[in-house]
Each structure stands twice: as C-alpha cells, then as structure tokens.
A and B are shown apart, each in its own frame.
Chain A
Amino acid sequence: MVVKIRLARFGKRNAPFYNIVVAHARTARNSKPLEVLGTYDPIPKEPLDGEGKAFKDIRLDRARAKYWLGVGAQPSDPAWRLLTMIGLMPKKFTQTQQSQSQSKNAAEA
C-alpha cells in the first residue's frame, strides 16, 4: 500500500489545524497514522512585537520527513508545498503556472 505524507484536519469549525502525518493512502483522514511528523497552523498569527508580516506556524521533524521521503512516501499536494519551502522536495508547478509556461513556450517556438 502506498504510504503518503498528508495533512489531517483537526481543530474546530472555522479554526482549522492540521497534523502533518505519515499514513497509508487508503486509511481515513483522521485515523491513527503511522507517525505524526508535525503540525501546520494555517491561521496567520500577528507577530508579538507588532512588526513584520503575520506568520503561519509550522512544526516539523525534518529528519523523519526526509527518512519517509527516502523510503518512498508520497506527499500530497499541500504537504508537497510545505516540504518545498524547506527544500525537501523540488518545486511543483501549480496548474495555472504550468499552463502559463506552456503557452509561453508555444509562443516562443
């Protein structure tokens, strides 16, 4: 069975909070995973000193994430996006970006 790195939604209504988990692909979203790698809080927090941008807090065990990727775990798209930011995965184009670049290539040719 495929092992995936994906997000499991916890939190409340209008207050999402995600666990970044390693789980078998066919198991339910919030079922007990193989391992919890970390968390992703998608609600931006204002910095305490009031300066700079609001931030989204992500906690992640990088070494374990690397290990699971090494043994063939497949990140879901949102997980892929997060892993790209810390350089664990190559950048994946979003569909709009892809179509834009294709049309550009076609125009050049």
Chain B
Amino acid sequence: MPPRIRKASLSCPLSHLPLSTRPQPSSLIPKYLSQHGACSRDFSTSLQRSTGLRRDMFRWLNGPGAVFRDPAEGSTNYLSAYDREGNLNRRKRSARSDDAEAENSSVQEVPEEELIDLKPFPMNRNFISHNVLSEELREEIYSRVVTLGRSVRVVSAELGIDMNRVGAVVRLKTIEKEWQKEGKTLAKPYARAVMEMVPKTPYNPNNPIPHESINDLPVHSATMQQIFEPTSESRRFTREDAAKVFHPKLLPADKRIPHPELIELERERLESVPREERINRQRERLAKEAQLATWRKEKKEEYERKHTKVIAPKAGRWEFRFTDVSVDAAGKDGRGPDGVGWRYGMPHEDRKRGQVKIPTSVPA
C-alpha cells in the first residue's frame, strides 16, 4: 500500500482563471475587478457562482463608487452628494451657476456643502447631518471659560452655542487635559478620522459663526393646553398675562428662555443706543448678576455654617457634621417632602421601571 501522502497540487491553476483575475501588478488593474469565476479559497477548483447582485456591486465599485476610494478632502463624502455617474452634485451646480468663473478657479477645489448635500442616508431624505464643534472651537470655549474665567452663559451667547453644550465641552476638555498631564494616550487618530467625515462649525475669531439656536423657549407642560381666554379689548394682553392664564406661578416666556439678558441687548440695539454704550450696559448688568449670585452663595454658606456644628475628634479618621433640622418640616401627617428622615409606609422606588439613576447635576 502506498503511503498516504497528500498531493501537493496547485489547487487553483492560474490557467483556469479568466484573464482579468490573474495576479498582476496591482497598479495595472483596479482593486475590485473580480467579477465572476474567481476561486475564493486557494484549494478550491470550483468556480464560484456569480449572482446579479454581486455583478451590480462590482459594477458600482468600479463605476460611480470609485470616487469613494479617494474621498474628497476637507468635505463630507455622503452618498447622496453624488449623482448616479459618481459626479459631485454641488460641483455641477456651481459650474452651472457661474460658467465663466468656475472654469479656472474651482476645478480642483470642492465647493461648500449645501443642506441638500448633507443627507448621509439616500433612503432617508429627512435625515440631515448637522455640524459638530471643530477642535479649534472647542479649545476656544475651554480657554474662554477656564482661562479667562467667563461664565458659561456669556460664552454661550458670544459663540452661539447652547449652554449645555458649552458646559459639556468644558468638562470633557478638562478631562482631556488631565489625561494629557497624566501621560495617558488619547485616541487622536480616531478622533481626527471621525472629524474628517462630519460637517464642522469652524472657529472664526473675528466674527464667530453661530453653531445653533441658543434661545429656544423650552416647552412647559402647563402650556400644552388650549385655553380660550376672554379678555378686554381695551387692555393690553402681554406675555406676562398669557403665562398667568396658563398657571398662576408660570414665568413669562421672556424669563423662561435660556438667555433672557439678550432681550434687553436687542431692545437697546433697536433703540439705536451706540455700540460702546450697549456693551458697557451689558457688562454692568452681568457684573450685577454675578454680584447677586455670589451674595446668594455667601448667604447660603453662612446659613449652613450657622446651623451646622462640626465635631472633629483628634484621633478619629473622620469628622461629624451635625445639621440642625426641624421635626415640623414633615408637616401634620409626617409625610411632607421636606421632612427629615427615611419615610415610613413608602416603598423603595429605585427598582421601579423608568427611574433615572444617572445624576443630572454636578455637585458644586
């Protein structure tokens, strides 16, 4: 019996393959040429079945899809920004609008995206990809808040970025700087790659480009009802009155918006107060507000100091803070929300559905 040794055979002879798939210098043929009949494994001699879908895929990869192999730099490369032949729609548009000028100037350069070019999903035309903050802008936010010590509110109004976002940027940048100090490696190449793919709001030092609408009125549940309120024609019905109609304790819209201080600024602008004067007045208002805030904080701290007794045993590892409370705060039935202590007759709700346990505020 002959020894059972496997034949070291050339499993996929080259001569069987169609000419297009034979190994050739890669520079001569495009990457995705394997249309049909190629063996996917070295040892397989059977020809692979080629489906219509597969053929379509390769047709697309070699045809209109070829532009995505080398994506345009400094721009988004969404599918719907290109037409069926793989031409950039906005380049065609700009060429159409200014034939003569475009010929010599913007042949290489990619024109700026419009709203219609920012739809990454061809099947969902309603989805628009919105701008994200560019790296320089985020650095600027951090430096204004932390280095220059401006308030989040002011920086938000200056740069046209929502206050929540400004706060988040400052917090994340702080962590980033801490990590850099500790010598941790950051995923910078990853961040750069992602940032190249999305539209960005650049930082323009002289005339900042607003990133988003910052003064939207938040919807209050009390205002979700339709009310038919008869009022006298002879009297003015203002936003204050409207708020009172909704709920006696509801603040008017002018005070519920995130930046009520901008109203006064705009009013002065319409009254054509000179620019210098406006800036000075705004500065004064901000200073007054800051003063009030510090006064309130001091008051609170003083109250706490007065009502808190700190006992620090010399040998102990910790101190004891005794805060004076009132038993009467619980109310007559002992169930008031301000009452001291764990409540009786009230089950824990932390395992209940829909209980949010993520902290929503940072302890100051």
Interface on A for B, CB 8 Å cutoff? Answer: 8, 10-11, 17, 19-21, 32, 35-39, 44, 48, 52-62, 64, 82, 85-86
Contact = CB atoms under 8 A, between A and B. Distances in A.
B226 interface: no
Given A19-B342, A56-B321, A60-B324, A36 B330 contact: yes
A56 B309 CA distance: 12
A17 B334 CA distance: 19
Contacts of A60: 322-325
Given A57-B321, A86-B322, 20 more contacts: A8-B342, A19-B341, A36-B330, A38-B325, A38-B340, A39-B342, A48-B363, A53-B319, A54-B319, A55-B318, A56-B320, A58-B322, A58-B323, A59-B325, A59-B340, A60-B322, A60-B323, A82-B320, A85-B311, A86-B309
A54 B318 contact: yes
Interface of B: 309-312, 316-327, 330, 334, 339-342, 344-345, 363-364
A58 B320 contact: yes
B75 to A, nearest CB: 46
Interface centre among A52, A57, A58 (most CB of B within 10 A): A58
Contacts of A21: 341
B344 A32 contact: yes
A1 B90 CA distance: 89
A108 B323 CA distance: 43
Given A56-B319, A56-B321, A10 B363 contact: no
A75 B264 CA distance: 60
Contact of A62 (B318, B324, B334): B324
12 contacts: A17-B342, A20-B341, A36-B340, A38-B341, A44-B318, A53-B312, A56-B318, A56-B320, A61-B324, A61-B326, A62-B324, A64-B327
A37 B341 CA distance: 8
Interface centre among B318, B341, B363 (most CB of A within 10 A): B341
Nearest to B311: A85
B325 A61 contact: yes
A55 B339 CA distance: 22
Contacts of B316: 53
Contacts of A64: 327
Interface centre among A11, A62, A82 (most CB of B within 10 A): A62
A57 B318 CA distance: 11
A85 B322 contact: yes
A24 to B, nearest CB: 15
Given A53-B317, A53-B318, A54-B317, A61 B327 contact: yes
Contacts of B345: 32
Nearest to B325: A59
A19 B334 CA distance: 14
Contacts of B323: 57-60
A25 to B, nearest CB: 18
Contact of B341 (A36, A48, A54, A62): A36
Contacts of B342: 8, 10-11, 17, 19, 39
Contacts of B325: 38, 59-61
Contacts of B326: 61
A34 to B, nearest CB: 11
A86 B344 CA distance: 27
A32 B333 CA distance: 12
Contacts of A59: 322-325, 340
B352 to A, nearest CB: 15
Please list the 7 inter-chain residue pairs (A to B) with the smallest Cβ-Cβ separation, ordered nearest first.
A10-B342, A36-B341, A19-B341, A44-B318, A85-B311, A61-B327, A54-B318
